[in-house]
């Protein structure tokens, strides 16, 4: 990412310049860019005042700049970890259910229930 596109992204970040939970004003250095593609930037920011985190998608379109923010309890590290992880399928849920049933059966056996 070039320095100019980076500072331009942070300039666009002014659109989401206030914490939606406590209204504190964000400083541009609180924001980090998770991903940048064409005219879209995915930005993460954590509020210094209340600790709330938001992920914001800032898009530069023909009609100007628009942004969508989402309050999250994920840390920046969590987001980077799960960003490209495969989605959880219904088979994964069934596997987990079976695994837990099996573990419960084993625990019950050990505890003599």
| By the rule CB under 5 A, 108 interacts with Zn ion | no
Give the residue with the Cβ less far from Zn ion, 10 or 52: 52
Strand duo 40-46 + 31-37: pairing? antiparallel
| By the rule CB under 5 A, 19 interacts with Zn ion | yes
Determine the distance from the C-alpha atom of residue 55 to the mean position of all C-alpha atoms in its chain, rounded to a whole number: 5
| By the rule CB under 5 A, 107 interacts with Zn ion | no
Q: How many helices (H) and strands (E) does the chain have?
A: 3, 4
47-62: b or e for each residue (b if 16 or more CB lie within 10 Å)? Answer: beeeebbbbbbbbeee
Using CB under 5 A, pick the residue from 24, 57, 60, 65 that binds Zn ion. Answer: 24
Instruction: At 42, list the tokens.
Output: 């995915």
* String marking each residue 45-64 x if it binds Zn ion according to CB under 5 A: --x-xx-x------------
Total binding residues for Zn ion by CB under 5 A?
8
- Where does this chain bind Zn ion (CB under 5 A)? 19, 21-22, 24, 47, 49-50, 52
């Amino acid at each position: 990412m070039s320095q100019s596109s980076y500072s331009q992204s942070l300039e666009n970040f002014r659109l989401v310049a206030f914490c939606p939970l406590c209204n504190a004003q964000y400083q541009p250095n609180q924001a980090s860019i998770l991903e940048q593609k064409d005219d879209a930037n995915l930005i993460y920011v954590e509020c210094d005042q209340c600790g709330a985190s938001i992920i914001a998608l800032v898009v530069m379109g023909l009609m100007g700049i628009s942004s969508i923010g989402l309050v999250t309890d994920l840390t920046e590290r969590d987001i980077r970890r799960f960003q490209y992880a495969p989605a959880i399928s219904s088979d994964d849920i069934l596997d987990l259910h079976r695994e837990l049933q099996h573990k419960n059966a084993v625990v019950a056996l050990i505890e003599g229930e």
